[in-house]
């Protein structure tokens, strides 16, 4: 029963234990031993102080995706992003939204999507100065895995939109904006 429960738990997160691996982990749990196994599916199953954890051996997040008008689906990130060019709406920018309008004239170069990188900073809309993205993501309560999979929209200067977290003051629309990049993020279904 214990081996079956372990196999089902690991399968639920995309891994697969063979009979021998499940038996070894069950024995380690029963005898309160620490240990780990790398199983099929690229998952590491670890026991530390009687707690079982399963994690990716290596995150598979791409370096960057160029953005253009249309829909982009990313299995690596687990999100879809709809991008179009339009006239600005009358709604005020919201920095913590999953939809945003970026002033096209303020965006430098082309837009692209990537994972967060060490040292990333953003000047959040409505605030003075810049903040480290790592601090904003931590304050939002995101796990390390969620942080790796959160797509960051950038231009050649740096991050300009972190969906659900922050919009950069630098590219926020204003009363002089005549064209916007409209972006809408949604989880893959």
Looking at the structure of the chain, the number of domains it has is 2
52 and 117 belong to one structural domain: no
Within a 10 A sphere around the Cβ of 21, how many other Cβ atoms? 20
Residue 59 is predicted with a pLDDT of 54
The label of the residue with tokens 């690229």 reads 42
52 and 70 belong to one structural domain: no
Backbone angles phi, psi at 7, to 5 degrees: -60, -40
Query: Does the CA dihedral 38-40-41-45 come out positive or negative?
Result: negative
82 and 6 belong to one structural domain: no
| Two structure tokens written together for 53 | 């954890």
94 and 141 belong to one structural domain: yes
19 and 103 belong to one structural domain: no
Q: Which of 26, 56, 86 is the last residue of a domain?
A: 56
CA 134 to chain centre: 12
92 and 153 belong to one structural domain: yes
72 and 25 belong to one structural domain: no
82 and 155 belong to one structural domain: yes
The packing angle between helices 2-12 and 19-30, to 10°, is 110
Residue 189 is predicted with a pLDDT of 58
81 and 44 belong to one structural domain: no
d(CA 6, CA 2): 6
Domain range enclosing 106? 65-187
For residues 163 and 67, is the Cβ–Cβ distance under 8 A? Answer: no
> What CATH number did the domain enclosing 81 receive?
3.50.40.10
152-188 burial, b at 16+ Cβ within 10 Å, e below that, comes to: bbbbeebbbbbbebbbbbbbbbeeebeebbbbebeee
89 and 33 belong to one structural domain: no
Residue 134 is predicted with a pLDDT of 92
Query: What averages of pLDDT result for each successive group of 10 residues across the chain (189 residues)?
Result: 85 85 88 79 76 69 82 81 96 85 97 92 94 93 78 96 95 96 87
d(CA 181, CA 128): 24
99 and 176 belong to one structural domain: yes
6 and 92 belong to one structural domain: no
The pTM assigned to this predicted structure is 0.68
Residue 87 is predicted with a pLDDT of 98
């Amino acid at each position: 029963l214990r081996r079956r429960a372990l196999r089902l738990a690991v399968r639920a997160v995309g891994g697969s234990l063979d009979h021998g691996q499940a038996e070894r982990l069950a024995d380690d749990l029963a005898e309160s031993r620490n240990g780990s196994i790398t199983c099929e599916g690229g998952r590491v199953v670890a026991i530390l102080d009687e707690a079982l954890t399963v994690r990716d051996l290596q995150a598979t997040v791409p370096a960057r995706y160029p953005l253009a008008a249309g829909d982009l689906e990313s299995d690596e990130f687990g999100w879809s992003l709809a991008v179009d060019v339009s006239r600005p709406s009358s709604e005020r920018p919201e920095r913590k939204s999953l939809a945003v309008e970026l002033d096209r004239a303020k965006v430098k170069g082309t837009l692209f999507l990537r994972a967060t990188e060490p040292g990333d900073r953003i000047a959040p809309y409505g605030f003075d100065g810049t903040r480290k993205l790592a601090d904003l993501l931590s304050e939002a309560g995101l796990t390390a895995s969620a942080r790796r999979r959160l797509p960051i929209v950038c231009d050649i200067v740096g991050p300009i939109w972190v969906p659900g977290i922050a919009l950069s003051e630098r590219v926020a629309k204003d009363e002089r904006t005549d064209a916007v990049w409209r972006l809408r993020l949604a989880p893959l279904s």
